[in-house]
Amino acid sequence: MTGAPVLALHDLQFRYERSAPLVLQGLSLAVHAGTVTAILGPNGSGKTTLLHILLGRLQPLGGVILLEQQPLDRLSRRAMSQTIALVAQEEEVPFEYAVLEYVVLGRAPYLGWLDAPKPGDYAEAEAAIQQAGIAHLQWRAMPSLSGGERQLARLARALAQRPRLLLLDEPTNHLDLSNQGR
């Protein structure tokens, strides 16, 4: 690969408690723009933990994390949110958002503190909904969707964020075979 990676990890280490064994030890990798990198392993091997570290939700015990050549711990929450998006395995949606309202939440990193989404934000959300193949659902309430439809809405929200790095935690969770392939 040419050019600097979007994400670089060197010798990452993590444990949940001081006396607990290391969950991640000596993890190094580089992810370049335009590539797909899969982290595979059995349940409980630290895959989701790694995603939470990359999102700044957990602090590593040691190692270096660079996001677009900047130390992750020196980036603002806004800069991180404009660069990284997550499609989680599961997510509670506490309100009766329509799919379009939910997906436009992906535009939050580009809005001011109390700003409402603008027409351009809705256009981005609608494009992401189209890309995810759920345009027919855009006015349905999130709680009324099947598990697979909710997963596609989560993907659309992440795409509306326009990240340079898209993190997918069990991305085919709840999806039928045709949507898994797509």
Q: pLDDT, tens digit, for every residue of 63-121?
A: 999 999 999 989 999 999 999 999 987 788 878 999 999 999 999 999 998 999 999 99
Cα separation of 25 and 80, whole Å?
24
Provide the strand spans (E) within the chain. Answer: 7-14, 24-31, 62-67, 70-71, 84-87, 165-168
pLDDT of residue 172: 66
pLDDT of residue 171: 66
For strands 84-87 and 165-168, give the pairing: parallel
- Mean predicted lDDT score pLDDT of the chain: 90
pLDDT of residue 169: 85
Across 29-43, average pLDDT: 89
Q: How far is CA 90 from the centre of its chain?
A: 12
Burial class (CB in 10 A: 0-12, 13-18, 19+), 18: exposed
pLDDT of residue 138: 95
pLDDT of residue 14: 95
- Residue 181 pLDDT greater than 80, yes or no: no
- Residue 4 pLDDT greater than 90, yes or no: no
pLDDT of residue 5: 92
pTM for the model stands at: 0.86
